């Protein structure tokens, strides 16, 4: 699933073509420190102080409107009967003013105009590769969750809630984790047959005579680690009510294949990765000479694997990716690998598979090449590689000396100079692993009015999209008809799933989990195994398209193409996206744009390939497809022309086209929907005190301020190589370059930078 901020994958529904609103900060923020909490509290205190001062200044100026003040702020003040003067509006106005640079010309650089103040007043924390408005929201959310998890365990707590508190307590129990050091890891490695590089040290004692590729491959998958060849159970893209066995190319040890393949650009990062491997093995007691020999061979092997993978830009055509085999045909096509043995080891014993069992192969050529490489490579190298990747993901769960080696790697890869506070990592770990905590979060933070108001906005945004659909001049009538039916059939999830408020259902959901106090490592492994077991157990089960695939404490939003479903967790229904007391134009510039973004994903370059039932099928006419691709190419070319000032790299317009299409369509829909509301409500037009901007201009300012961001050069590099979203500056500038509405609202001249002569428009 992909969403507004970054890539979220449900391990039990891995192939659903989902889109999310935005990208998470950093790559894998998994390392530790102890000073993050104090820094966050200090930052929040400073921001609150600045906001209060700005608020007082604004009020003084408003109350003395007849007295001309020479400050820039006073020049922007206006007070009329159409001003919102509630306490919430005054506080909001102060926040908006603080984030702006009013000296900038909005028609030349709207990002600087809207975010210049925010950028000037913020710095990137030492443990981050970037910092944004989203980061602030996430830090606030972490503080809220910490307060909930820290509460003493009560006799009245139901089983599921008690488990959350126990899991969190085991994670922050640093004393016990340090005392155990690497023992839990080496015991696991022994159970898996030993890590060859360790020789006769604990966790080693590997014997080639006992090695079998399919055995080790399936053991890794039983912990949700799909290596070399990904094999799992997924929803069938061409019949989204059933599931099917699937195989695909794997993820790699570094986030992008480019890090492995382009030494001239990324040799430093590749060397840091090799040093990371060797450093961990040496800490576990391996012979240094053997480490050099073995890990050099591992990196050479993984580089060959990386070269065989297909770039993400070449995997956007769903029909081309979908290759249906029977199990017998797959075994014949890739004879070096025993797929039957692998799946039988992971599926429930009641699920019998036969020669005619369908298997979708998403990467046939990769399978053939990788299978030959596996057959030709010494077993020692393969075992070293697979166990290295398992060790790598478990580093955050063991003692600090291993995390210090990981941090050295992150210093190069992300540009960070310190690790993240342990409590923050523990909050994120619980948030990722267990949704039963969400009962606590929802009860503490979420308003029923938010759900109803969001539902009403979704209705308005859907109608806005249908209006744009009907008015476009490139799609034929037959395709417009079925596209409108897809909009009408689009479902929504808002806030949280209802079952979490039911004690019985919540306990049933987590009945198979036992959390052990003082044993965080085992708790993590147990959760990994349970998730894998659940995923493979669904092969013969019908697909429940109403099932939530995310928790509510997430600052993000999602679209699922195989469910035709938009998802807005409770975590994103907060300022600057949404507040029930905010003027409508702020909500439409915030959550309104988000809603429009997710709706548009149903009609971007990937989402358009799935019909209203979520099935991969050609449901557009050929002529409409050709017209769409011509307009999508305009978007690709536009964004590919943007260069990042931090490192001089260009955006990959092909890789980011789906998100760019969604940004453009989402903002346009939201503005059109607000215009309709504005025509029928004087209340909707009330401006903010202290800002000489009308309601429509403030809609665009709020849209931009959602994306205020600072990047380290390394963070930009990672974003451009791995992300499906354009960097935030160009999510604003690129979208507004294509907007006639924006140019009109801000009265930008035809030759101004923000009013592009060539505008790329699809929706």
Long-range contacts of 214-221 (CB under 8 A, 24+ apart): 214/337, 214/338, 214/341, 214/342, 214/345, 215/345, 216/192, 216/382, 216/383, 216/386, 217/342, 217/386, 218/341, 218/342, 218/345, 218/346, 219/192, 220/386, 220/389, 220/390, 221/342, 221/346, 221/532
> Distance between CA atoms of 706 and 25, rounded to whole angstroms?
14
- Whether the CA torsion 371, 373, 374, 375 is positive or negative: it is positive
Return the DSSP state at 228. S
pLDDT digits over 77-105, tens only?
344 448 888 999 999 999 999 999 999 99
Cα-based torsion angle of the residue sequence 197, 203, 205, 210 in order, rounded to the nearest 10 degrees: -100
- Checking if the pLDDT of 40 tops 50, the result is no
pLDDT digits over 593-637, tens only?
999 999 999 999 999 999 999 999 999 999 999 999 999 999 999
**Which of 18, 14, 13, 24 has its CA nearest to residue 3?**
18
> Distance between CA atoms of 80 and 72, rounded to whole angstroms?
19
What pLDDT shows up at residue 444? 80
pLDDT digits over 285-296, tens only?
999 999 999 999
CB atoms within 10 A of CB 728: 24
Cα-based torsion angle of the residue sequence 237, 241, 245, 251 in order, rounded to the nearest 10 degrees: 50
Contacts of 198 (CB under 8 A, 6+ apart): 186, 189, 204, 205, 206, 281, 284, 285, 286
> Distance between CA atoms of 576 and 580, rounded to whole angstroms?
11
Name all domains of the chain by residue range, CATH numbers in brackets. 32-126+458-489+580-763 (3.40.390.10), 134-181+422-444+500-541 (no CATH), 210-398 (1.10.1380.10)
| Top-confidence range, 58-67, 383-392, 506-515 | 383-392
3 state SS of 248 = strand
Q: Which residues are catalytic?
A: 598, 663
Provide, rounded to the nearest whole percent, the portion of the chain with pLDDT above 70: 89
**Which of 681, 698, 687 has its CA nearest to residue 85?**
687
Do residues 231 and 325 make contact, with C-beta atoms less than 8 angstroms apart? Answer: no
> Whole-number mean pLDDT of the chain?
89
What pLDDT shows up at residue 10? 38
What pLDDT shows up at residue 340? 97
> Distance between CA atoms of 315 and 318, rounded to whole angstroms?
7
What pLDDT shows up at residue 652? 97
- Whether the CA torsion 273, 276, 278, 284 is positive or negative: it is negative
What pLDDT shows up at residue 16? 59
Q: Model confidence at 66, in pLDDT bands (50, 70, 90)?
A: very low
- Checking if the pLDDT of 31 tops 80, the result is no
- Whether the CA torsion 480, 486, 489, 492 is positive or negative: it is negative
Do residues 224 and 239 make contact, with C-beta atoms less than 8 angstroms apart? Answer: no
String of DSSP letters for 676-725 = HHHHT-SGGG-B-TT----HHHHHHHHHHHTT-EEE-HHHHHHHHHH-SS
**Which of 601, 558, 566, 588 has its CA nearest to residue 762?**
601
Tabulate helix, strand, coil % of the chain (nearest 5): 55, 10, 35
CB atoms within 10 A of CB 98: 18
What pLDDT shows up at residue 449? 84
Do residues 190 and 205 make contact, with C-beta atoms less than 8 angstroms apart? Answer: yes
More confident residue, 578 or 180: 180
Query: Taking every pair of C-alpha atoms in the chain, what is the biggest distance, in angstroms?
Result: 91
What pLDDT shows up at residue 39? 34
Contacts of 497 (CB under 8 A, 6+ apart): 548, 552
Between helix 520-536 and helix 183-191 the angle, nearest 10°, is 40
**Which of 521, 429, 423, 528 has its CA nearest to residue 182?**
521
The vertex-655 CA angle with 650 and 661, nearest 5°, equals 100
In SS3 terms, 541-608 reads as: CCCCCCCCCCCCCCCCCEEECCCCEEEEEHHHCCCCCCCCCCCHHHHHHHHHHHHHHHHHHCCCCCHH
What pLDDT shows up at residue 694? 93
pLDDT digits over 667-707, tens only?
999 999 999 988 877 666 788 999 999 999 999 999 999 99
Return the DSSP state at 643. B
pLDDT digits over 410-436, tens only?
999 999 999 999 999 999 999 888 877
The 10 Å CB-count burial string (b at 16+, else e) for 144-183 is bbbebbeeeeeeebeebbbbbbbbbbbbbbeeebeebebe
Do residues 716 and 649 make contact, with C-beta atoms less than 8 angstroms apart? Answer: yes
Q: Model confidence at 57, in pLDDT bands (50, 70, 90)?
A: very low
Phi, psi of 79 (to 5 degrees): -135, 110
String of DSSP letters for 124-180 = --TT-SEEEHHHHHHHHHHHHHHHHHTSPP-TTS-HHHHHHHHHHHHHH-HHHHHHH
Do residues 461 and 592 make contact, with C-beta atoms less than 8 angstroms apart? Answer: yes
pLDDT digits over 331-370, tens only?
999 999 999 999 999 999 999 999 999 999 999 999 999 9
The average pLDDT across 575-594 equals: 92
The CA–CA distances, whole Å, from 68 to 72, 77, 199, 341 equal 11, 10, 80, 82
Between helix 400-413 and helix 713-722 the angle, nearest 10°, is 80
Count of all residues that appear for the chain in the document: 763
The average pLDDT across 210-224 equals: 97
Tokens encoding 675: 């215009």
Q: Are strands 239-248 and 565-569 parallel, antiparallel or unpaired?
A: unpaired
> Distance between CA atoms of 515 and 602, rounded to whole angstroms?
40
Tokens encoding 48: 């609150």
Question: Cis link prior to 219 (omega < 30° from 0)?
Answer: no
Contacts of 701 (CB under 8 A, 6+ apart): 96, 100, 113, 114, 589, 693
Radius of gyration in angstroms for the set of CA atoms belonging to the chain, rounded to a whole number: 27
What pLDDT shows up at residue 106? 98
Do residues 603 and 306 make contact, with C-beta atoms less than 8 angstroms apart? Answer: no
Find how far residue 728's CA is from the centre of its chain: 14
Q: Are strands 491-495 and 565-569 parallel, antiparallel or unpaired?
A: parallel
**Which of 156, 30, 160, 224 has its CA nearest to residue 434?**
160
- Checking if the pLDDT of 5 tops 70, the result is no
Tokens encoding 697: 């201009």
- Checking if the pLDDT of 35 tops 90, the result is no
**Which of 571, 211, 557, 255 has its CA nearest to residue 387?**
211
- Whether the CA torsion 296, 302, 304, 307 is positive or negative: it is negative
- Checking if the pLDDT of 461 tops 50, the result is yes
Q: Model confidence at 45, in pLDDT bands (50, 70, 90)?
A: very low
């Amino acid at each position: 699933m992909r969403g507004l901020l970054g890539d979220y994958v449900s391990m039990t529904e891995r192939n659903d073509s989902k889109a999310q609103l935005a990208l998470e900060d950093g790559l894998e923020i998994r390392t530790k420190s102890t000073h993050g909490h104090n820094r966050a509290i200090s930052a929040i205190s400073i921001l609150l102080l600045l906001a209060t001062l700005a608020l007082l200044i604004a009020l003084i100026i408003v109350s003395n409107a007849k007295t001309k003040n020479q400050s820039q702020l006073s020049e922007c003040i206006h007070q009329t009967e159409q001003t919102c003067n509630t306490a919430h509006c005054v506080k909001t106005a102060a926040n908006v003013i603080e984030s702006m640079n009013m000296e900038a010309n909005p028609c030349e650089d709207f990002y600087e105009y809207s975010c210049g103040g925010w950028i000037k007043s913020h710095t990137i924390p030492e443990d981050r590769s970037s910092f944004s408005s989203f980061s602030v929201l996430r830090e606030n959310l972490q503080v809220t969750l910490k307060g909930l998890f820290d509460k003493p365990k009560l006799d009245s707590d139901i089983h599921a809630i008690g488990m959350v508190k126990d899991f969190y307590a085991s994670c922050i129990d640093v004393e016990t984790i340090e005392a155990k050091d690497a023992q839990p890891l080496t015991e696991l490695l022994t159970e898996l047959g030993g890590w060859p590089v360790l020789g006769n040290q604990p966790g080693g004692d590997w014997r080639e005579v006992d090695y079998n590729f399919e055995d080790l491959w399936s053991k890794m998958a039983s912990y949700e680690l799909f290596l070399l060849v990904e094999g799992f159970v997924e929803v069938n893209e061409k019949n989204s009510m059933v599931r099917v066995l699937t195989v695909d190319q794997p993820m790699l040890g570094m986030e992008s294949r480019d890090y492995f393949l382009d030494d001239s650009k990324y040799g430093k990062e590749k060397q840091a990765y090799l040093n990371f491997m060797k450093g961990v093995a040496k800490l576990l007691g391996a012979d240094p000479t053997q480490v050099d020999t073995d890990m050099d061979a591992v990196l050479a092997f993984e580089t060959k694997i990386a070269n065989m993978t297909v770039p993400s830009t070449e995997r956007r055509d769903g029909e081309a990716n979908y290759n249906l085999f029977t199990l017998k045909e797959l075994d014949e096509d890739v004879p070096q690998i025993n797929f039957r043995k692998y799946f039988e080891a992971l599926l429930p014993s009641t699920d019998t598979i036969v020669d005619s069992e369908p298997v979708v192969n998403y990467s046939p050529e990769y399978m053939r090449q990788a299978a030959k490489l596996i057959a030709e490579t010494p077993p020692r190298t393969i075992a070293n590689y697979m166990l290295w990747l398992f060790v790598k993901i478990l580093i955050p769960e063991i003692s600090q000396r291993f995390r210090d080696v990981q941090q050295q790697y992150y210093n190069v890869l992300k540009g960070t100079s310190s690790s993240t506070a342990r409590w923050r990592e523990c909050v994120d770990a619980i948030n990722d692993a267990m949704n039963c905590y969400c009962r606590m979060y929802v009860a503490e933070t979420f308003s029923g009015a938010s759900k109803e108001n969001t539902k009403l906005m979704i209705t308005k945004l859907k109608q806005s999209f249908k209006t744009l659909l009907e008015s476009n001049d490139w799609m034929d009538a037959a395709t417009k008809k079925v596209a409108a039916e897809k909009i009408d059939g689009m479902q929504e999830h808002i806030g949280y799933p209802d079952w979490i408020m039911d004690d019985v259902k919540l306990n049933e959901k987590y009945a198979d989990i036992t959390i052990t106090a003082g044993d965080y490592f085992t708790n993590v492994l147990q959760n990994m195994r349970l998730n894998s077991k659940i995923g493979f157990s669904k092969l013969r089960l019908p697909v429940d398209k109403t099932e939530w695939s995310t928790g509510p404490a997430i600052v993000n939003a999602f679209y699922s193409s195989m469910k035709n479903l938009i998802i807005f967790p409770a975590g994103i229904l907060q300022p600057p996206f949404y507040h029930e007391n905010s003027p409508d134009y702020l909500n439409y510039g915030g959550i309104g744009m988000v809603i429009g973004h997710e709706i548009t994903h149903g009609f971007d370059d990937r989402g358009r390939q799935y019909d209203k039932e979520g099935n991969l099928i050609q449901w557009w006419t050929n002529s409409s497809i050709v017209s769409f691709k011509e307009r999508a190419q305009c978007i690709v070319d536009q964004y590919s022309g943007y260069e990042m000032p931090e490192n001089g790299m260009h955006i990959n317009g092909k890789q980011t086209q789906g998100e760019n299409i969604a940004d453009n369509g989402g903002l346009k829909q939201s503005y059109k929907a607000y215009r309709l509301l504005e025509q029928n409500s004087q209340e909707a037009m009330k401006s903010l005190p202290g800002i000489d901007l009308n309601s429509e201009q403030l809609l665009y300012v709020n849209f931009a301020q959602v994306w205020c961001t600072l990047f380290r050069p390394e963070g930009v590099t990672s974003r451009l190589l791995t992300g499906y979203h354009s960097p935030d500056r160009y999510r604003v500038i690129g979208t507004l370059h294509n907007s006639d509405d924006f140019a009109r609202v801000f009265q930008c001249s035809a030759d101004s930078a923000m009013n592009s002569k060539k505008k790329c428009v699809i929706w």
